[in-house]
Structure 1
Amino acid sequence: MGLPPKTIVLDNGAYHIKAGFAGGKVVEIPNCLTRSKDGNRLFLGNELANCNDFTTLQFRRAHEKGYLVHWSTETAVWDLVMRNVGVMEPSMADYSLLLTQPVFTMPSIEHNTIQLVFEEFQFDAYLPCTPAELIPWDHGSFTMNQEDAYTGQHGECVLVIDSGYSFTHIIPVIDFSVQEQAVKRVDVGGKLLTNYLKEVISYRKYNMMEETYIVNEIKESVCYVSQNFKEDMEICHEKPRSKLEICYALPDYSTGKHGYIVRDINQKIEQQVLNLSNERFMIPELLFSPSDIEIREAGIPEAVMQSVTHFPENIQAMLLENVVTIGGNCKFPGFHKRLSSELRSLAPANWEVKVFEPSDPICFPWKKASHMPLEHWNANKITRSEYSEHGANIMTRKRRI
């Protein structure tokens, strides 16, 4: 059996919230409050779709460096989320909440979160967990897309690479438990990549330092992970025009409010056009080589190998045979091929390296959480009566999944 019918699953990402009833459909909602260019309009969550001019938008996000700290903003976004998933009651007393939190969430944040859950929203039951904990569960008894059916040979040992908005975590999960002593963090996420692209474009082309929304769209449209960085750099120097160069038409808000790739270079374009070549792969390269911008950290493949060395060799081999990638940065074309290639070169020759690529790495943890077995839920949930008796300290009395 799955979760109780009135359980809301909320994957509380710093960039997007993924939410919905357990076993139902998921909705993605921006986890932010956005102020318009003139400062006269505020857009909460997915209300941003009603904006007609995305220039110089200002964002207030509930998270800082990946952790929830702005509680008033999050409360407002959660109110919107509940309406979007179909909850119209003023109180959530008849509903339960399964919520994801990043690994190493501080106790003070956990305490504030449980207060928000039980005092502000008045949920009947609550279970926090990390997205990585959800990945290895066997859901053979549930109907899921065949392409998303995790079929690792050693399901008790899974290495999760979670690369999202704020950072990238390498998380070994053994016997359904996060091995915190071996977790590695790479301080490169989608926010840093977008900010770096803003700097590069502003230095080389147009000043776009205030155009976070537009540059993020450019990043998602044209960037890819190079399989051979030096070779692609040489190609970009070809004359008269590199085969890697792309023309991107910026939005003018008269013919449209979104930019687009110009497929025909001879097409007459009235909007401003960005010509992008090595920028396309320079930006995602930071995931593999943070030192390019003087971040003194290992890239993702090296961080993976640093993580697995905390275990005996037989466990190391099983972890590298069960690598699962989640998070928005995993959607860059070429990401998985490059990751697999570099892990293969770093691992012993007699070990097998397998990288599992979900069809939707952003919503994959939500899908896993949505099909949590009922026995896991019942064994680990925190009820409102328990919170009333023990307060926020109940977090230290209950073990995680």
Structure 2
Amino acid sequence: MDPPAVVIDAGTYEVRAGLAGDDAPRYRAPNCTARPKQQLQVLVADEIYTIKNHAQLEFSRPLERGVLVHAGAQRDVFERCFSKVQCTPRDSRIVVTECAVNPPSARKACDEILFEDFGFLGRMRLPSAVCAAAKSKEILEDRERHLATQHGGKPAEKRLPYNHDCVLICDMGHSASTATPVLSGGAHDYAVRRSDVGGQLVTGYLRDLISYRQMEVFDETATIDKLKRDLCYVAQDFDSELAKCDGTTKEHGTASDVYAEFVLPDYHTIDAGYARLDTRHPAYNPEERRRRTRPDTSPQFLRVESERFCGPELHFSPQDIGLKQCGLTELVADSILKCPHAMRPNLSAQVMLVGGGARCPGLRERLQRELRPLMLEPYDVEVVAPREPELTVFQGAAMLARDNEGQYLSKLDWEEYGADRCLVGFGRPENGSSYDAMDVG
């Protein structure tokens, strides 16, 4: 019996690896390589965790907006993944995910890594949106059962029944946000819309705000990224949230409900920063909010108030930093309206948020509320966010790898017909072997 195929979901920020049929990845690590300043040692993937202070590292990411730009770094990360998953590439097949509009040059470079450097027997390439859509059926059914329990066991009222063959995937990635409609198991490229606002841009904007207002943290990107994940949220009404912070910026003034503090790491007694005085934290004590913590107390900390929602607001208003692109709501609406008229009701009723950025509190509610007025007709709008949105693509890819045994491009075909022909697909080979379904046609 052949060993199960290896599944690799390589995102811009993180790589997830496992085997076909797995419910969770067996290995998760940053999809990057790093080198300590003024040193020749190169750290790959999870090896960067051996360095406590990431400000001392110079990072190199192989992907930019989901497109392969540094093949050497990606090869090193893949090699680390295969050793952790304990697979033998020359005796295995592999399933890799990609963005919906991946250029042929990036596809060819990836195939050269898999076939020439590692020698896999076969490769199946799947768009990340298709993988997420495959997992969405299970997620939507679980949500439907949960809603039924809230209505006394009766099915929740819906104006439109779920159509699992018609889903819009909104991928909140590290370097971009992408809206991709998936119809009948295929991503429709003509309706894909992408914005350059991702988690990296939000972190950089938050880092600039704190540096200009309070403390210079331009080299502490990793610390600010953790602050963003622990404290930031999407405001449902930006103006009202901003009004809460009016008059509370004095050093010893009364703090608003938005105010929080983030303790900075000193890499001696504190290895990683953590949040305190946050109303959303389970250990929040309202008695501690009566007076702000004095700056002369230890350890060192950052005061954050309006910064908590000003950073994620870029998803909806990128014009705030001069970026001439539409917000997330317009991005999703335009993608839906570019699809056939008959598909629009199902797409608007099943908008799935995936990616690490989908974890931001308030994002789903804000998108759902602002998306309704942009529909040309009174469609039913429903935005769903899984419990672990960053794992949805991998879980879908593992399901498809388990159920699709005949859609692999073999190494023999790749060597015989050439990389260029396998990418564009000039008909079916005479020997009856099958190309990748996404490569041919």
For the criterion TM > 0.5, the same-fold answer is: yes
In structure 2, how many angstroms separate the alpha carbons of the residues matched to 1:178 and 1:150? 29
Q: Separation in 1 of the partners of 2:140 and 2:86?
A: 23
User: 1:71 and 1:353, CA in 2 relative to 1: closer, same or farther beyond 3 A?
Assistant: same
2:357 to 329, 334, 355: 329
What is the distance in 2 between the residues matched to 1:195 and 1:316? 35
Asked if the contact 1:10/1:97 (under 8 Å) is kept, the reply is: yes
1:340 & 1:194 partners in 2: Cα distance? 24
- Shift, 1:174, TM fit: 0.9
Alignment of 1:143-292 (within 5 A): 146=142, 153-239=162-248, 240=253, 241-263=255-277, 264=288, 266=293, 269-292=297-320
Residue of structure 2 equivalent to 1:28: 28
State the distance in 2 between where 1:160 and 1:150 align: 21
User: 2:434 matched to 1:400?
Assistant: no
Q: Is it true that 1:360 corresponds to 2:374 in the alignment?
A: no
Larger Cα-atom Rg: 2
Counterpart of 1:297 in structure 2 is 325
Distance 2:318 2:174 in 1: 15
Corresponding residue for residue 44 of structure 2: 44
Distance 1:291 1:85, change over 3 A: same
SS of aligned partner of 2:43: strand
Report the Cα offset of residue 390 of structure 1. 1.1
Asked if the contact 1:7–1:22 (Cα under 8 Å) also holds between the matched residues in 2, the reply is yes
Cα deviation 1:44-91 (Å, max 9, x = unaligned): 11112221323343211112343111111111111111111123x4xx
Q: 1:313 aligns with which of 319, 328, 341?
A: 341
Q: Closer, same or farther in 2 for the Cα pair 1:242/1:153, shift >3 Å?
A: same
Give the Cα separation in 2 of the matches to 1:390 and 1:217.
48
Counterpart contact for 2:7–2:401, Cα < 8 Å: no
User: Would the aligned equivalents of 1:127 and 1:377 in 2 still touch at CA under 8 Å?
Assistant: no
Partner of residue 106, structure 1: 103
Distance 2:144 2:271 in 1: 34
Query: Which residue of 1 is the match for residue 16 of structure 2?
Result: 18
Give the aligned residue type for 1:83: S
2:375 pairs with 337, 347, 351, which one? Answer: 347
- Candidates 83, 93, 97, aligned match of 2:94: 97
Which runs of no fewer than 5 residues in structure 1 stay unpaired?
A: none
Q: Per-residue displacement from partner, 1:262-310 (whole Å, max 9, x unpaired)?
A: 2345598422211001110011111111111111111111111111222
Q: Does the 8 Å contact 2:21/2:402 carry over to 1? A: no
Structure 1 residues 189 and 4: alpha-carbon distance in aligned structure 2, compared to 1, 3 A threshold: farther
Report if aligned partners of 2:136, 2:352 keep a CA contact under 8 Å in 1.
no
- Report if aligned partners of 2:135, 2:393 keep a CA contact under 8 Å in 1: no
Equivalence for 2:81: 81
Deviation at 1:350, TM superposition (A): 3.2
Aligned alpha-carbon RMSD (Å): 2.6
| Deviation (angstroms), 1:211 | 1.5
Report how far residue 189 of structure 1 moved.
0.7
The one-letter code sitting in structure 2 at the alignment partner of 1:387 is W
1:147–1:359: 8 Å Cα contact kept in structure 2? Answer: no
SS of equivalent residue, structure 2 residue 404: helix
- Secondary structure (helix, strand or coil) at the match of 1:134 reads helix
Asked whether the equivalents of residues 171 and 179 of structure 2 are also in contact (C-alpha less than 8 Å), the reply is: yes
8 Å CA contact 2:135, 2:392 repeated in 1? no
Whether the 8 Å CA contact 1:56–1:211 is kept in 2: the answer is no
Identify the residue that residue 382 of structure 1 maps to in structure 2: 409
**Structure 2 counterpart of 1:136, from 133, 137, 145:** 133
Distance 2:49 2:108 in 1: 33
Percent identity, please. Answer: 28
Relative to the length of structure 2, the TM-score reads 0.83
User: Which residue identity does 2:389 align to in structure 1?
Assistant: P
| Count of residue pairs brought into register by the alignment | 394
Contact 1:136 1:150 in 2 (8 A): no
Residue pairs, 1:43-82, within 5 angstroms = 43-82=43-82
Aligned-residue offset at 1:349: 6.4
108, 117, 121: which is aligned to 1:120?
Answer: 117
Contact 1:57 1:211 in 2 (8 A): no
Q: Secondary structure at the match of 1:364?
A: helix
Task: Give the Cα separation in 2 of the matches to 1:143 and 1:181.
Answer: 26
Q: 1:79 to 1:343 in 2, by over 3 A?
A: same
Amino acid paired to 1:307: S
3-state SS of 2:17 partner: strand
Q: For structure 2, list consecutive stretches of 5 or more residues without a partner in the other structure.
A: 148-160, 278-287, 426-434
Residue 315 of structure 1 and its aligned partner are, at CA, apart by: 1.3
AA aligned opposite 1:205? Q
TM superposition shift of 1:35: 2.5
| SS of equivalent residue, structure 2 residue 179 | strand
CA separation in 1, counterparts of 2:2 and 2:331? 38
